[in-house]
A and B are shown apart, each in its own frame.
Chain A
Amino acid sequence: MTAKKENAKRLVIYLLIVFAFMLLFILCAKPMHDSNTANNVICMIYSFSPALASLITRVVTKEGFRDMKLHLHVAGNIRYYLLAFILPLICLSAMFLLPVIISGHADWLGGFTFSNVLSNALLLFALSAVQSIGLLGEELGWRGYMNQNMEPLAGTPGTCLIGGIVWGLWHLPMDIGGYLNGNGTLSEALGMTLGRLVMLTCFGAFLMWLTKKTDSVFPAVIAHFMYNESQGAVAELLNQGNIPEDASLPLWTDAVRYAPMLLTAVIFTVLLLHDQNKARKTA
């Protein structure tokens, strides 16, 4: 069997397992709605499903566990670890704050004092070191396995795009969970799904670049943690400001909201292609 066929086989098995978990999650919607314990256990298993799928695929295809990218590789890669911490924080802050500033409501940002911003950034930095480990369940699957097998088949930009879409679709049960339980409208749920799909596809390029540069999934784990937690931290600081009850931003600011992440995706896809060309020339 050729290397490409082997990669395709591994990828198909992996994706089938991941989406089997997804189907299971959707089928368990009723018991999850009825019981907190069931919800807790199933969510925990689901959050580790990409890692479980990669492990099962490795066993089924007998490819072994060598290239799981579980080494920290901190020495010589400190700058990538720092970038994993800083970039999501900057991107997410820009995503929340740019629309507010551009639409002329800078007076809403009263909570963003130097002391508040510094304490939140330091807190996130400290917590990312000890609490990000739960995200290993996702990164071990997406960056540590799927991207590796997808890249020879779809190329680097294709992997960023398809991989990002797959990653976004995996979150679908959570996005539509509220609607299925009777909270919110279908358009709201679909809007959330589409927004997440765009954001994760863009952010996936950065995570893929980090993983390839360091040959480790841990910088991606930290960046993923920062992506998740920065949103909460920035939203909390926004809430401390004097935002009126009936505040709303013009519709065009939505385009500005996605601009930082789109820019990140373009930059890191170009960097990935540049590294690929460099590797080809030296080979």
Chain B
Amino acid sequence: MTGLVYKEWKQNRWLILSMILCGFAPLLVLLLMRGEIPDASDAALRIVGMIAGFLAAGALQMLVLRGDDRKLWGYWITATADGCKGFLRVKYEMIFAMTVLLLFTLQCADRGYCAAAADMGMTEVGEISGIAVLLCFLQILLRAIDIPFVYRFGSRRGSLVKMICMIVLVIILLALLILNADRLDTVIDTCNKVFSVQNSSLILSVGLVGCLALYYLSYRITCRLYLKGVEQYDR
């Protein structure tokens, strides 16, 4: 296992370290855009920067999967003592660690900015770390969806198949919505009851734990699909 960790570090260390840079995205956006959009508030610009940082980090996280979709590598790693499960576990752990590193940097940078702002007498500046935590879980969820597609169909075909699946899902949801248009009020009422203020914290916490559970489930699914995917690589 140490060997696999070493391999990932040697191959992807710049991508891993780039998470730190993405963590400073809110401050970069604030510095670059403050003059351009003087009307926008500090918090709004920082939130935009944070979303940009998460998007960039997401793209970089997907890059660490690049280069593994080779038939020879797939068979070789399956034949090692750690097997494809060990290989995939290190990949999942590494991507998770990248997300955690991003969140940590974002929170440190945010706290630093708020402290500096308070020293300059800007009392209205507040921390935006709470949003970062939610975005972090969203990113974990997105990776949980992305990774199985990449390993089952290869990185190029994987993203295409994922997009088709998403479009099909949206079409089904829209069709269901149109077909049940007359019962829409009942659905909205039920949603309002379920997502009430009293239930919101419980739903939020269940959702966050659900994201972690889905990430683990994604790992188990990828382990099952991996060898099927390897058959299709290099075509």
A residues contacting B by CB (< 8 A) are: 35-37, 39-41, 44, 71-72, 75, 115-116, 118-123, 125-127, 129-131, 133-134
CB-CB < 8 A to B209: which residues of A? 122, 125-126
CA distance A125 to B137 in the complex (A): 13
CB-CB < 8 A to A120: which residues of B? 201, 205
Beta-carbon contact of A119 and B93 below 8 Å = no
Q: Is B44 an interface residue (CB 8 A)?
A: no
CB-CB < 8 A to A129: which residues of B? 212
Beta-carbon contact of A126 and B108 below 8 Å = no
Most-contacted residue by chain B among A37, A116, A123, A130 (CB, 10 A): A130
Beta-carbon contact of A123 and B208 below 8 Å = yes
CB-CB < 8 A to B115: which residues of A? 36-37, 39-40
**Set A36, A75, A126: member contacting B205, Cβ < 8 A:** A126
CB-CB < 8 A to A126: which residues of B? 137, 205, 208-209, 211-212
Secondary structure of the A side of the interface?
A: helix
User: A54 to nearest B CB, angstroms?
Assistant: 19
Secondary structure of the B side of the interface?
A: helix
CA distance A127 to B212 in the complex (A): 10
Interface string of B101-140 (1 = CB under 8 A from A): 1011000100110111011000000000000010011001
Beta-carbon contact of A44 and B206 below 8 Å = no
Some 25 contacts from A to B, beta carbons below 8 A apart, are A36-B114, A36-B115, A36-B116, A37-B112, A37-B115, A40-B111, A40-B112, A41-B112, A71-B2, A71-B5, A75-B89, A115-B199, A119-B202, A119-B205, A119-B206, A120-B201, A122-B205, A122-B206, A125-B209, A126-B137, A126-B205, A126-B211, A130-B99, A131-B103, A134-B104
Q: Is B204 an interface residue (CB 8 A)?
A: yes
Beta-carbon contact of B104 and A133 below 8 Å = yes
CA distance A34 to B137 in the complex (A): 36
Beta-carbon contact of A123 and B201 below 8 Å = yes
Can you add 7 more A-B contacts, CB < 8 Å, to A121-B205, A123-B204, A129-B212? Answer: A36-B118, A39-B115, A44-B108, A71-B5, A123-B208, A130-B100, A130-B103
User: A112 to nearest B CB, angstroms?
Assistant: 14
**Set A37, A115, A125, A133: member contacting B202, Cβ < 8 A:** A115
B residues contacting A by CB (< 8 A) are: 1-2, 5, 89, 93, 99-101, 103-104, 108, 111-112, 114-116, 118-119, 133, 136-137, 140, 198-199, 201-202, 204-206, 208-209, 211-212
CB-CB < 8 A to A119: which residues of B? 201-202, 204-206
CB-CB < 8 A to A37: which residues of B? 112, 115-116, 119
CA distance A125 to B136 in the complex (A): 15
Chain B residue with Cβ nearest A73: B1
CA distance A125 to B2 in the complex (A): 28
CB-CB < 8 A to B103: which residues of A? 130-131
CB-CB < 8 A to A134: which residues of B? 104
CA distance A227 to B198 in the complex (A): 27
Beta-carbon contact of B112 and A115 below 8 Å = no
CA distance A39 to B1 in the complex (A): 40
CB-CB < 8 A to B111: which residues of A? 40
CB-CB < 8 A to A36: which residues of B? 114-116, 118-119
Chain B residue with Cβ nearest A70: B5
CA distance A129 to B137 in the complex (A): 10
CA distance A71 to B208 in the complex (A): 25
User: A123 to nearest B CB, angstroms?
Assistant: 4
Chain B residue with Cβ nearest A132: B100
CA distance A142 to B206 in the complex (A): 33
User: B57 to nearest A CB, angstroms?
Assistant: 14
Beta-carbon contact of A130 and B201 below 8 Å = no
CA distance A134 to B100 in the complex (A): 10
CB-CB < 8 A to B136: which residues of A? 130
CA distance A116 to B198 in the complex (A): 9
CB-CB < 8 A to B140: which residues of A? 130
CA distance A131 to B100 in the complex (A): 7
CB-CB < 8 A to B112: which residues of A? 37, 40-41
CB-CB < 8 A to A35: which residues of B? 119
Chain B residue with Cβ nearest A113: B198
User: A119 to nearest B CB, angstroms?
Assistant: 4
Beta-carbon contact of A130 and B205 below 8 Å = no
CA distance A129 to B96 in the complex (A): 10
User: A39 to nearest B CB, angstroms?
Assistant: 7
Given contacts A37-B112, A115-B202, A118-B202, contact A127 B1 (CB under 8 A): no
Beta-carbon contact of A122 and B119 below 8 Å = no
